[in-house]
Amino acid sequence: MNAALKPSALASATAAGTNAEWHARRLAATPRGVAVMGDFFIDHAKNAEFWDIEGRRYIDFAGGIAVLNTGHVHPKVQAAIAAQLQRFTHSCYQVVPYSEYVTLAERINAIVPIAGDRKTAFFSTGAEAVENAIKIARSYTKRSGVIAFGGAFHGRSMFAVALTGKVQPYKAGFGPFAPEIYHAPFPAEGANLEDTKYAVEQLFKCDIDPARVAAIIFEPVQGEGGFNPIQAEAVKWLRELCDQHGILMIADEVQTGFARTGKMFAMEHFGVSPDIMTMAKSMAGGTTLSAVVGRAEVMDAPNPGGLGGTYAGHPLAIAASHAVLDVMAEEKLPERANKLGAQLKVRLQAAKAKNPCMGDIRALGAMVACEFVNPQTGAPDADLTKKLQQAALKKGLLLLTCGVYGNVIRFLFPLTIEDSVFEEALQILDQVFA
């Protein structure tokens, strides 16, 4: 029997060893293209805290990259998965359907800010949701072109990464990409909307007839791009532009959805109805689930069999997502996001008053980030940002960076975080940013 398959080897896979030993084994066994930020390995977690295999405790302000709005192993999510495990783990919904898929679609349809009748299809990852959203848009419009924005992140699969507006590390070395994808400057708060309007006008004059554009896709708040909220006026303009030319508006809410911005979905801040929305990350408490939801007539455009996937809408993830929706309502997590985000923003502003390296502070609910710059030139300072991240990590606080220039620290704590743990984290930030 192959030694790698022996039960003893499987049983001991995570039972022993130091972080250094596992780091060395990781480098030997896995490709360098799967980058890993930390050189420690998680052992167990609870809500906003986790412990590594050597017993060190960390406060988690990364949340698995915005996946854990309901925290690590929330008891209700854990119970829902455990109950589903007793019934069945897989049938492939397209072969043998299950009612929980349908009832979750009904619940999602009822809460999204999309006008008219809606329908939802489930998938596994955010990139998969984005790619299927484009497939649906193309099927409905019978067009092929897609417009996205600079600084956007829509996933790492080939079409999704082509939509992504950041070369390093996502696009470098992977081309050529799919044709008829065009990028315009993102109309973030503080940017000149006229620049974006002019760029799109030039696209329509020089590159693609608007009658060939199927969709315009954007993040209401750019994630990897630096937590940049879109201008409210820009959302209204995009809606008018799409209506004028018969283009579908796709709101990518993979990172912004499920209470992070202080509402269940960020599009609720703008009073504008998209045609399609994508979602994933925090919708299923750390299990793999994503969704595309849109106007019913749009979602019905693909032929039967054109959508789906072997694991799409996996039963365990569906069960977890039902529990997440319950927790969101019972624990009032959108309201808590606003409260926690406001507290963090106050502390960051106080730190900025003493630290000339701190630049723009951006916040929509609990989707909060801070730039770091050279105080003499105002240029982005990625090196300082990385040093601050590492300094916080040494004190037991896990942070993530983002931004086109790598000079932004973003804060993605679970919305269920205990007040005492949140205050402990804020004190660490005070020390590090001082």
Domain boundaries in the chain? 17-73+332-433, 79-330
Q: Which two tokens stand for residue 63?
A: 């949340």
Q: Which fold has domain 79-330?
A: Aspartate Aminotransferase; domain 2 (3.40.640)
> Residue type for 127, please?
A
| pLDDT of 5 above 50 | no
Residue 14 has pLDDT above 90, yes or no: no
Examine the pLDDT at 163 and tell me if it is beyond 70.
yes
235, pLDDT greater than 80: yes
| Cis-peptide, bond into residue 176, ω within 30° of zero | yes
221-222 vs 248-252, strand pairing mode: unpaired
- pLDDT (tens digit per residue) in 200-221: 999 999 999 999 999 999 999 9
pLDDT at 8 over 60: no
State percent of the chain over pLDDT 90: 93
| pLDDT tens figures, 319-358 | 999 999 999 999 999 999 999 999 999 999 999 999 999 9
pLDDT at 1 over 60: no
Collapsed DSSP state (helix, strand, coil) of residue 289: coil
**Topology, domain 17-73+332-433:** Aspartate Aminotransferase, domain 1 (3.90.1150)
DSSP 3-state of 420: helix
Q: Is it the case that residue 13 has pLDDT exceeding 80?
A: no
Task: Report the alpha-carbon distance of residue 380 to residue 386 in Å, rounded.
Answer: 12
* CA gap 1, 167 in Å, rounded: 45
Least confident of 58-67, 104-113, 172-181: 172-181
With 90 as the cut, is the pLDDT of residue 38 above it?
Answer: no
Q: What is the pLDDT of residue 158?
A: 93
Does residue 379 carry a pLDDT above 70?
yes
For 403-431, the pLDDT digits (tens) are 999 999 999 999 999 999 999 999 999 99
Where residue 176 falls among pLDDT bands split at 50, 70, 90?
Answer: very high
| Per-residue model confidence (pLDDT) at position 365 | 98
Peptide bond into 169 cis (omega under 30): yes
Q: Which residues of 287-305 are buried (b: 16+ CB within 10 A; e: fewer)?
A: bbbbbbbbbeebbebbeee
* Closest C-alpha among 209, 272, 196, 192 to residue 240: 272
Instruction: Output the pLDDT for position 74.
Output: 98
